[in-house]
Copies of this chain bind each other. A is one copy, B any other.
Amino acid sequence: MPASERALIASFRRQASVGRGVLKGIGDDCAILRVPPGHETLVTTDFSLEGRHFCRDWHSPEFIGHRCLTRGLSDIAAMGGVPIAAFLSLALPPKLPQAWANRFMKGLLSLASRHHVTLAGGDTAQSPSGVLADIFVLGSVPRGKAILRSGAKPGDAIYVTGSLGASAAWLKELLHGQEPDRMPQSLVPQPRLQTAQFLRQKNLATSMIDLSDGLSTDLSHICQESRVGAELWQDAIPRATIRKSKVSLEAALHGGDDYELLFTAPERKAIPNQIAGVSAKKIGRITSGQKMVLLTGAGIKVLKPQGWQHFEK
């Protein structure tokens, strides 16, 4: 067992105490959790693999730890749920500096603490190649109230939170030889938990998904599960701003790793422009066909899912 693995387990034990909904964390064969009465359990799991989802040369350890947990929390948000506990399986290469692991954990735990999520367990191992993380998040939602991908109806309006394309545009700059630079704090993706819980509590959304693979691909998942089509209004899509200029339409339409919410709501429901400090913008409507189209100034284009396939070295 390399030093870093032993230190990690110690750090797990220190951090992974009991908390809201967690009766027993690390130190037995299983963690013991309590889901509130009348609630269902939500479960999601996401890999973060070096060379596939991140690159140690380009991303800071804190950012990688933060985004590792963001992937899980964002899935809980997409159902309108409340996260309870996270479990981290982490395999590290033998020569990884201990400081890297510590900074990774710092990024992850700081996000966990902000959302009152307990790190309740996990597994550690020596990795045969690169850093391998697998995050598992468990949450809850009142019985029957989860917001599914399958509830969109023709005529519903389509909304998106925040702005899109920052992660993809940032990565493109790096791939084109820009000096690796820390991503500005304002561009670091955040799981939209409070916004999603508001939508669920007010019964506003008919369907919802988080934007991990890119708008075109994630919208196609809603269309597929709801058996509907969609039209998006090109000029309405909120594009992120990097170095004082707006990102390309491509990045906003197909870029991944934004972790904003994409949801549908009946036309008659009033959706606030800001929900829990995050903007919500109408960007199109659900149609009765099975096709997705993009309305541009010049006419109508068919929209194909061309979402982010993660970057490969």
7 closest Cβ pairs, A-B complex = A129-B129, A29-B78, A30-B42, A33-B41, A29-B75, A134-B134, A30-B44
Partner among B23, B50, B127, B139 whose Cβ is within 8 Å of the Cβ of A49: B127
| Chain B residues within an 8 Å CB radius of A208 | 29
Partner among B29, B52, B143 whose Cβ is within 8 Å of the Cβ of A44: B29
Interface size class of A (residues with CB under 8 A): 35 or more
Nearest Cβ on chain B to A163's Cβ, whole angstroms: 21
Can you show 11 pairs from A to B with CB atoms below 8 A apart? A28-B148, A29-B75, A29-B79, A30-B79, A31-B44, A33-B41, A34-B41, A49-B128, A123-B134, A126-B312, A136-B136
Partner among B23, B47, B136, B139 whose Cβ is within 8 Å of the Cβ of A45: B136
Question: Which of the segments A85-93, A168-176, A283-291, A293-301 contacts the partner chain?
Answer: A85-93
Contact B29 A149 (CB under 8 A): yes
Q: Is A61 in contact with chain B by the CB < 8 A criterion?
A: no
Partner among B23, B79, B123, B127 whose Cβ is within 8 Å of the Cβ of A46: B123
Nearest Cβ on chain B to A30's Cβ, whole angstroms: 4
Nearest Cβ on chain B to A214's Cβ, whole angstroms: 15
Knowing A29-B75, A30-B76, A42-B30 are in contact, say whether A47-B91 is a contact too (CB < 8 A): yes
- Complex Cα–Cα for A46 and B87 (A): 10
Contact B42 A146 (CB under 8 A): no
Best-surrounded residue of A41, A45, A309 (most CB of chain B within 10 A) = A41
- Complex Cα–Cα for A201 and B14 (A): 33
Q: Is A35 in contact with chain B by the CB < 8 A criterion?
A: yes
Partner among B27, B35, B75, B125 whose Cβ is within 8 Å of the Cβ of A30: B75
Contact A91 B132 (CB under 8 A): yes
Q: Is A40 in contact with chain B by the CB < 8 A criterion?
A: yes
Q: Is A225 in contact with chain B by the CB < 8 A criterion?
A: yes
| Chain B residues within an 8 Å CB radius of A32 | 40-42, 79, 141, 146
| Chain B residues within an 8 Å CB radius of A120 | 43
| Chain B residues within an 8 Å CB radius of A272 | none
Interface residues of A in 57-93 (CB under 8 A from B): 74-76, 78-79, 81, 85, 87, 89, 91
Contact B87 A136 (CB under 8 A): yes
Further 18 A-B residue pairs, CB within 8 A, beyond A30-B146, A33-B41, A46-B89: A24-B146, A29-B75, A29-B78, A30-B42, A30-B43, A30-B44, A30-B75, A30-B76, A30-B79, A31-B42, A31-B44, A43-B85, A43-B120, A45-B89, A49-B127, A52-B125, A89-B134, A136-B136
